[in-house]
């Protein structure tokens, strides 16, 4: 990538190499967060590249990722990242979605708990747990930490009582309470 239309690296003189231009060209790749190009004391060119890290996959037209800098990025042609899927995304939801995903990622219990996030105009953020067949209605991200503490306490109580399979909906939108509905198939 650094050498274009030259027969060999021997023809490239290090003093003619523009390291800043090389870094700029690397960072133009949408999968790269940052790059640093340097020349070692041995005269070798060294490039240190930091990749962007997706935190959610936004399902739409086209699909894209949200990264850990709260920026949208294209899907990789090389690999698929295991991150929550997001449905119903609108541009105005980006900051709230980022706050939600980062809060979930930073919680040891919740980081692997949810497989997808749906954004509904009437009910706000809806989460689908990986291991269970119920829906969590989060609503807005206001008082997010409080809502998630309520959720963890409620799930712990339901697990202790062996009633997790009976849940249909867990609604966290209300202050100082959790509203749950029963699964109709149980």
Whole-prediction pTM: 0.83
Give residue-wise pLDDT tens across range 52-84. Answer: 999 999 999 899 999 999 999 999 888 889 999
**How would DSSP label each residue in the chain?**
----S-S-GGG--GGG--HHHHHHHHHTSTTEEEEEEEE-TTS-EEEEEEE--EEEEE-SSS-EEEETTS-EEEPPSS------EEES--GGGHHHHHHHHHHHHTSTTGGGTEEEEEEETTTEEEEEESSSS-EEEEESSTTHHHHHHHHHHHHHHHHHTT-GGGEEEEE--STT--EEEE-TT-
Q: Does domain 55-182 have CATH number 3.30.390.30?
A: no
Give residue-wise pLDDT tens across range 120-152. Answer: 999 999 999 998 889 999 999 999 999 999 999
CATH 3.40.50.11690-classified regions of the chain: 55-182
């Amino acid at each position: 990538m650094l050498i274009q239309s030259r027969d060999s690296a021997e023809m490239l003189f290090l003093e003619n190499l523009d390291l800043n231009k090389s870094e700029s060209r690397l960072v133009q790749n949408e999968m790269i967060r940052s790059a640093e190009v340097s020349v070692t004391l041995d005269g070798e060119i060294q490039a240190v590249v930091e990749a962007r890290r997706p935190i959610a996959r936004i399902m739409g037209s086209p699909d894209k990722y949200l990264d850990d800098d709260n920026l949208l990025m294209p899907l990789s042609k090389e690999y698929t990242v295991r991150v929550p899927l997001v449905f119903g995304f609108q541009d105005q939801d980006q900051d709230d979605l980022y706050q939600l995903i980062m809060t979930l990622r930073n919680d040891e219990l919740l980081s692997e708990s949810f497989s997808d996030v749906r954004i509904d105009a009437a009910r706000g953020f809806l989460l689908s747990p990986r291991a269970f067949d119920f829906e969590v209605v989060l609503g807005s991200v206001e008082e997010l930490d409080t809502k998630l503490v309520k959720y963890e306490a409620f799930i712990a109580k339901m697990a202790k009582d062996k009633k997790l399979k009976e849940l249909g909906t867990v609604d966290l939108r209300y202050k100082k309470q959790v509203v749950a509905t029963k699964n109709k198939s149980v």
